[in-house]
Homo-oligomer: A and B are copies of this chain.
Amino acid sequence: MPTTITGFESFDIRFPTSQHLDGSDAMNPDPDYSAAYVALKTDSSDFSGYGMTFTIGRGNELCVAAIRSLAALLVGQTVESLMKEPVTLYRKITWDSQLRWVGPEKGVIHLAGAAVINAVWDLWARIQKKPVWKLICDMTPEQFVSAVDFRYLTDVLTPGQARELLERFSSTKQQRIEELIDVGYPSYTTSAGWLGYSDEALKQKCSDLKTRGWKHFKIKVGRDLQDDIRRCTVLRREMGDDAYMMIDANQVWDVPQAIEWIRQLAPFKPWFVEEPTSPDDILGHRAIAQAIAPIRVATGEMCHNRVMFKQFMQSGALQVCQLDCCRLGGVNEVLAVLLLAARFNIPVCPHAGGVGLCEYVQHPSIVDYVCVSGSMENRVTEYSDHLHEHVHDPVVMKNGRYMPPKAPGYSVQFTDAAIQGYAVKG
């Protein structure tokens, strides 16, 4: 029996995180972590689908409005017709000829598209009683490829080439799944290094996290060089020489300034430098990467679609791919970017933090290991320990590793208490 989408509810959910300076960095001094949230209703009382996109406060109302415009396109459709070839879903949401004008495939309309697309994947996974990662891992290479929109990619990756990439690891998927269920997927944490924290708080958080199993620590930089040097000194001393330090500038530098500043922080041996300049500046990132090698450049949380990632990868502008499950157009485009990364041999270390992002990203990281790259080398998924209490199926961490989620769906269904407590009027 097909399941028909009969309607939807949307919510503007905001958590007042700016009160404690969690999440403060050089670009974002006072974020209020927020979710533009959608619940798809169906003709079956057993099944609903839940999706969200992440913002940092003001502007969340625009994503909610865009969700309303997009989710309306799905009412009356069956899940099965959308997901027989899942690229159908992606095209339906991103290629409405009028709505496309206000993107295309970027900004508010694409962030909202992620919420809606992810809600359909959540719904489909619930119907099949599997978490989204398992649903995808159970696909054949042919089915996986049928979820991807190859438009604008074929100069570097054709569907045939993508199938070949997936066939490399197709017969050994089960052993990697078992490994993950046993030991989990490695993470790194940003919980220690926010700019708004005092040196004492930084030291204390690092010490706590180290005790709990983490080996990778990210610190925010870019507001004041002397301040950065002092804070990096504190962190490096606390974490020890054998742990990995990442530095994150959140786009505050111009290209020449980035090169100069990073050279000053090189003695702290950063494992990578994140978002050194404008997220749109592919050629700028390439110039920085060439100047600071062997320090690697990471970016992606604001890289808005597969066409941008294609260029970052083909030009050597990034060495670490930090895809974001909300910035990209939902599961479909995340799978496209996993394939591109495999094509160019670039490790994927997804962006998380905020609210809901950790719950999302564990799925593509598992898919990457099981189906696409077959490797955990140089790969860690971001984690922060905020706001997990507001979702039904929060991430489970063990020794600093994400344990594969077991509940059906895409893990971002909010609790009724969260919606009642934090949804604002539209």
Contact = CB atoms under 8 A, between A and B. Distances in A.
A174 interface: no
A99 interface: yes
Contacts of A65: 61-62, 65
A304 interface: yes
A256 interface: yes
Contact of A315 (B27, B69, B283): B283
Interface stretch (A105-113, A178-186, A209-217, A231-239): A105-113
Contacts of A82: none
Contacts of A282: 282-283, 311
B97 A107 contact: no
B98 A27 contact: no
Interface in A55-101: 55-63, 65-66, 69, 96-101
Nearest to A54: B101
A167 interface: no
A101 B56 contact: yes
10 tightest A-B CB contacts, nearest first: A107-B107, A108-B108, A155-B255, A59-B102, A58-B98, A57-B98, A152-B278, A280-B307, A59-B99, A154-B254
Given A102-B62, A302-B104, A97 B29 contact: yes
Residue picked from A101, A153, A251, A305, most chain B C-beta under 10 Å: A101
A255 B154 CA distance: 8
Contacts of A111: 102
A421 interface: no
A308 interface: yes
A55 B101 contact: yes
Given A56-B101, A106-B107, A109-B108, A308 B280 contact: yes
22 contacts: A32-B98, A59-B69, A59-B99, A62-B65, A62-B69, A62-B108, A63-B102, A66-B108, A102-B111, A104-B251, A104-B279, A108-B108, A108-B109, A151-B278, A152-B281, A152-B284, A154-B254, A154-B256, A280-B308, A281-B307, A282-B283, A284-B307
A240 interface: no
Interface in A152-197: 152-155
B107 A280 contact: no
Interface in A1-47: 27-32
Nearest to A354: B101
Given A62-B66, A278-B152, A103 B109 contact: no
Nearest to A279: B104
Given A61-B69, A307-B280, A254 B152 contact: yes
Nearest to A108: B108
A307 B287 contact: no
A59 B62 CA distance: 11
A109 B62 contact: yes
A314 interface: yes
Contact of A101 (B59, B106, B256, B280): B59
Contacts of A63: 102
A277 B56 CA distance: 32
